[in-house]
């Protein structure tokens, strides 16, 4: 069979067309899925913002952010919202699965989305700003400065929520009440009040309800056409997962305690190596972790003070006063260790109690044993010879040989000694022991 040049050219043209068609399908054939789970922190914010940019570069049609969060840091929340507001792709924020929440910072993120959706059994709201000092003090100065600062924070948060609601055409009054009065709404209430756009059973239902919906985007409009599109996940990198793990307040709290215990043991008993190495590693990881979450330096000082008081209790007869002071210092320090009282950004009470008992046990058992060992009588080496008994090997007056511990020592005595006399070592000077005869 003879193949003509025309057939060969046609074959290559068909191959090229197939590649172009496949490329075109890939460019418009996916939508991005970027999950937001847990507390909003700098690691989560960095992941969301980077993924939004990457989703655009990868040619996705739009972005869905399944969200379940109790809230988080205001600065991290604002970074995510800036990423959504500046996205060249429409962003759908979907509070899911059932039972999930979009509380506090999550409420602001919902308001900023091009399309806000919720699954049945979810809730949104409670967006009031929280100040850690409100939990421990109601003190106000004569100038009313504390009240002024609270009003500034509140009014700024209200304006921010209203601005997001106005931008997306959502219920501005509800947004203000969610901030001022910490109002929270169910999925059905949010849909009825115009806080969200869609209630969807699951992602498949969400895609069906998105079909044909139009949103404003870059001065124009975007029409959703999800039919035939495949999801493309954007998970965290291993580095982000590691940092996010260490951004947990409980993990940071444990790292601080491990660092203190390890370094203290190494200083107390130099040469153990392992406790010191573990303590130093934990301390450096702790320093890395505190760059993610805001740490209250007063909390660290109080925890260190607590351990110091526990150690002093072993050396000073305070009849338990130092222990009580240490416990109070430890509990208060653990409570204010983090500058955010939101769920997920504080150390739970069971953890505080458990670690407190561990620290007490560590101090009163290990350190006490070490102190007793230092105070005890030396039983090895030349210092351990004092008080030991021996036997005179031959008669001598002044200096002569004695047997102590099965070893022959040169002995010095103020009284004459005879062979077989029992003696006790009073002191040792170099290789000469001073002995005294045991009467009877």
Quote the pLDDT of residue 93.
96
Do 369 and 337 have their domain in common?
yes
pLDDT tens for the chain, 440 residues long, are: 455 554 555 555 445 444 443 443 344 489 999 999 988 888 899 999 999 999 999 999 999 999 999 888 888 899 999 999 999 999 999 999 999 999 989 999 999 999 999 999 999 998 987 643 344 344 454 545 567 778 888 899 999 999 999 999 999 999 999 999 999 999 999 999 999 999 999 999 999 999 999 999 877 899 999 999 999 999 998 888 888 887 777 787 888 888 877 877 777 666 777 878 888 888 888 877 776 666 778 888 888 888 777 777 766 766 667 778 888 888 888 877 775 555 555 677 777 787 777 777 776 676 666 666 655 555 555 555 677 888 888 888 888 888 887 788 888 888 888 888 888 888 887 778 888 888 76
Q: Which of 236, 269, 293 is the last residue of a domain?
A: 236
Do 145 and 71 have their domain in common?
yes
CATH of the domain at 165: 3.90.226.10
Whole domain around residue 279: which residue ranges? 248-375
Quote the pLDDT of residue 306.
81
Asked whether the beta carbons of 399 and 392 are under 8 A apart, the reply is no
Domain presence at residue 15:
no
Quote the pLDDT of residue 246.
76
Cα separation, 326 vs 308, in Å, equals 8
Cα separation, 327 vs 306, in Å, equals 6
Burial class (CB in 10 A: 0-12, 13-18, 19+), 262: buried
User: What is the residue-wise DSSP string for 24-78?
Assistant: HHHHHSEEEE--EESSB-HHHHHHHHHHHHHHHHTT-S-EEEEEEB--B-HHHHH
Do 323 and 411 have their domain in common?
no
DSSP 8-state code for residue 367: I
Quote the pLDDT of residue 26.
41
Strand partners, 401: 410
Domain presence at residue 366:
yes
Neighbours of 322 (CB within 10 A): 19
Do 86 and 202 have their domain in common?
yes
Quote the pLDDT of residue 339.
59
DSSP 8-state code for residue 438: -
Phi, psi of 295 (to 5 degrees): -105, 140
Domain presence at residue 218:
yes
Strand partners, 217: 220
For residue 267, which of 280, 257, 248 has the smallest C-alpha distance?
280
Domain presence at residue 8:
no
Quote the pLDDT of residue 299.
81
DSSP 8-state code for residue 3: P
Cα separation, 89 vs 56, in Å, equals 6
Do 152 and 82 have their domain in common?
yes
Do 156 and 255 have their domain in common?
no
Do 156 and 61 have their domain in common?
yes
Domain presence at residue 269:
yes
Do 38 and 166 have their domain in common?
yes
Find all residues with CB under 8 Å of 436, minimum gap 6, and list them.
413, 414, 423, 424, 426
Asked whether the beta carbons of 359 and 306 are under 8 A apart, the reply is yes
CATH of the domain at 431: 2.40.50.140
Q: Which of 375, 400, 422 is the last residue of a domain?
A: 375
Do 131 and 190 have their domain in common?
yes
Do 215 and 90 have their domain in common?
yes
Do 75 and 147 have their domain in common?
yes
3-state helix, strand, coil in the chain (%, to 5): 50, 20, 30
Give the three-state DSSP class for 135. Answer: helix
Cα separation, 266 vs 256, in Å, equals 16
Domain presence at residue 10:
no
Cα separation, 81 vs 77, in Å, equals 6
Domain presence at residue 4:
no
Q: Which of 375, 391, 417 is the last residue of a domain?
A: 375
Domain presence at residue 98:
yes
- Whose tokens are 């972790």? That residue is 289
- Which tokens hold the place of 369? 């044993």
Find all residues with CB under 8 Å of 196, minimum gap 6, and list them.
110, 116, 117, 118, 124, 170, 187, 190
Cα separation, 425 vs 436, in Å, equals 7
Structurally, the chain folds into a number of domains equal to 3
For residue 256, which of 286, 212, 214 has the smallest C-alpha distance?
286
Quote the pLDDT of residue 51.
95
Quote the pLDDT of residue 200.
95
Do 418 and 329 have their domain in common?
no
């Amino acid at each position: 069979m003879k193949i003509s040049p025309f057939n060969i050219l046609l074959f290559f043209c068909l191959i090229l067309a197939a590649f172009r068609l496949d490329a075109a399908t890939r460019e418009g054939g996916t939508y991005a899925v970027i999950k937001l789970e847990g507390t909003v922190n700098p690691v989560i914010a960095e992941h969301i913002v980077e993924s939004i940019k990457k989703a655009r570069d990868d040619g996705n049609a739009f972005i869905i952010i399944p969200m379940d969060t109790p809230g988080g840091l205001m600065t991290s929340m604002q970074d995510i919202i800036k990423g959504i507001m500046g996205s060249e792709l429409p962003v759908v924020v979907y509070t899911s699965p059932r039972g999930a929440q979009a509380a506090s910072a999550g409420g602001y993120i919902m308001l900023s989305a091009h399309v806000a959706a919720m699954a049945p059994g979810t809730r949104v709201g409670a967006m009031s700003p929280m100040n850690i000092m409100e939990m421990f003090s109601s003190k106000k100065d004569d100038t009313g400065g504390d009240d002024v600062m609270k009003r500034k924070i509140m009014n700024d948060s209200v304006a921010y929520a209203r601005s997001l609601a106005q931008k997306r055409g959502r219920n501005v009054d509800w947004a203000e009440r969610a901030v001022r009065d910490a109002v929270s709404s169910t999925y059905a209430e949010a849909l009825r009040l115009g806080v969200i756009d869609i209630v969807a059973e699951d992602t498949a239902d969400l895609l069906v309800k998105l079909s044909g919906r139009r949103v404003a985007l870059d001065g124009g409009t975007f029409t959703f056409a999800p039919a035939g599109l495949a999801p493309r996940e954007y998970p965290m990198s291993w580095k982000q997962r590691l940092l996010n793990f260490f951004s947990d307040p409980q993990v940071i709290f444990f790292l601080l305690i491990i660092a203190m215990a390890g370094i203290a043991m190494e200083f107390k008993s130099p040469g153990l190596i392992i406790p010191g190495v573990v303590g130093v590693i934990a301390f450096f990881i702790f320093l890395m972790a505190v760059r993610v979450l805001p740490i209250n330096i007063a909390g660290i000082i109080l925890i260190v003070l607590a351990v110091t008081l526990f150690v002093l209790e072993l050396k000073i007869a305070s009849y338990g006063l130092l222990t009580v002071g240490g416990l109070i210092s430890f509990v208060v320090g653990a409570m204010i260790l983090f500058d955010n009282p939101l769920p997920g950004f504080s150390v739970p009470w069971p953890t505080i109690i458990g670690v407190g008992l561990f620290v007490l046990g560590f101090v009163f058992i290990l350190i006490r044993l070490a102190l007793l060992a230092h105070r005890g009588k030396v039983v090895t080496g030349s210092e351990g010879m004092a008080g030991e008994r021996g036997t005179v090997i031959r008669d001598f007056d002044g200096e002569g040989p004695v047997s102590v511990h099965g070893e022959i020592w040169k002995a010095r005595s103020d009284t004459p000694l005879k062979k077989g006399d029992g003696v006790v070592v009073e002191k040792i000077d170099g290789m000469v022991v001073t002995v005294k005869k045991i009467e009877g």
